[in-house]
Structures are given as C-alpha cells and as structure tokens.
A and B are shown apart, each in its own frame.
Chain A
Amino acid sequence: KNEVEQSPQNLTAQEGEFITINCSYSVGISALHWLQQHPGGGIVSLFMLSSGKKKHGRLIATINIQEKHSSLHITASHPRDSAVYICAGVDSGGGADGLTFGKGTHLIIQP
C-alpha cells in the first residue's frame, strides 16, 4: 500500500518568512501532486511533478526521486497563503490512478 507522509502538521510563521513543507513517499509512487485547501474547503492543484523543480509565482516545488522526497516552498509568505497544503502521490502502476494523500500541513501566516 502506498504511503505519503508530510511534515510539519502545523506551521505558524510571520509574514515575509520563507516556508518549507516536506513530503516523503513510498516506493510505489511515481509522481506527486501538491494541493492547497482553502479555509472555505475548496481544493486547488498547485503542482504535479515527477522530477526536478517547478515554480509558479512565489511557490516552488521540488522532488528528489532517489530520496523519495518532495518539498513545497513559499517565498515572501503572506497571510493569504494561510491554508492546508496537501501532498498526494500517484501510483506508479500506470493508467488512471487515484491519489494517496498525506495528512496535510496547516499553515498560518501572521501579519
């Protein structure tokens, strides 16, 4: 059974700080999604990556396949970044696969 572990579970930081959220995953996972769940409950896909690094605005996601580890970074954090960030693994079996979710990181950015 695939597993995804995130850390930290909760993170509170001051506006402007550099934020890092980590995700480790098991052997059976070939790619990772990073999702953002807003306080209202909606889920938005931020990135999907299977190698290297992706950047979108102040968000950067990296993945190290050998170490089975991914990180989500937020530069110049802002209170509107406050949300739950979830990493989710894609099964390496191929075809249409659902996701295995981490438990999420609850991020609060204080002004």
Chain B
Amino acid sequence: DAGVIQSPRHEVTEMGQEVTLRCKPISGHNSLFWYRQTMMRGLELLIYFNNNVPIDDSGMPEDRFSAKMPNASFSTLKIQPSEPRDSAVYFCASSFGGSDEQYFGPGTRLTVT
C-alpha cells in the first residue's frame, strides 16, 4: 500500500487566494483526520471524518476553512481566502476504526505571503 497520499507537498500562494489541499487515505480505512502543525501551537486537530461524515470540526479555526470527503478515497481541505497566519504544515491521517492506530501522510507545507 502506498500509505496516505497528500498533494501538493508544497504550496506557496498569495494572501487572498484560494488553497485546496488533497488527501487520499489508505484503502479500507474508514476514519480520516486533518491536522495542522505550527511552531507556535504544535500539532492540532482540525476536523475528522468517520465513514465520510464529518464528526467533529470544532478545531477548524474559521469559516475560511472547509473540508469535504465526497467518497472513501478522497478528502479536501480548502482555505478561502488564505491569510499569512495560515502558513503551516497540514497533515492528513487515516485509521481503520476511530481509535485505532493512525497513519500520517507526508504533509503539505503551505506558505501564504
């Protein structure tokens, strides 16, 4: 298995632009998690899905952030409009069963100028 796949690996954009991050979980996993890592705050949960349904989005910082999971093999995290403080590494992780071991993708490093 290729593991959790994220794209792009790096994204540099200007403030105000829309950014879309993509994640393909491990086949057969039914839970998907989006995390953000910054120097100041460390790793934080943004949102997680179980069987494609958003369960808890309380970690999503603002209305500018939205996440979708249209099917079991694909999820997106969108920021519209982006701001410099959104600069971070965004990780996607998946697991089989909500509390099972999570497998992390390589992350997307986002820089908003």
Contact of B104 among A30, A31, A43, A104 (CB under 8 A): A43
A94 to B100, CA, bound (A): 11
User: A103 in the interface, Cβ–Cβ < 8 Å?
Assistant: yes
Contact of B45 among A30, A33, A45, A99 (CB under 8 A): A99
We find that the number of chain B residues with CB closer than 8 angstroms to chain A is 29
Q: A95-B50, A99-B45, A101-B44 are in contact. Are A41 and B99 (CB under 8 A)?
A: no
A88 to B93, CA, bound (A): 13
A96 touches B102 (CB 8 A): no
Chain B residue at minimal CB-CB distance from A92: B99
B102 touches A99 (CB 8 A): yes
Task: Flag B62-89 by CB within 8 Å of A: 1 or 0 each.
Answer: 0000000000000000000000000001
Contact of A45 among B47, B50, B59, B101 (CB under 8 A): B101
* Chain A facing B: main interface SS: strand
Contact of A86 among B43, B98, B107, B109 (CB under 8 A): B43
Contact of A95 among B33, B55, B104, B106 (CB under 8 A): B55
B positions within 8 Å CB-CB of A:
31, 33, 35, 42-45, 47-50, 55-56, 59, 89, 91, 93, 95, 97-104, 106-107, 109
**12 CB < 8 A contacts A-B:** A33-B102, A41-B109, A42-B106, A48-B101, A88-B43, A96-B55, A96-B95, A98-B48, A99-B35, A99-B45, A102-B42, A103-B42
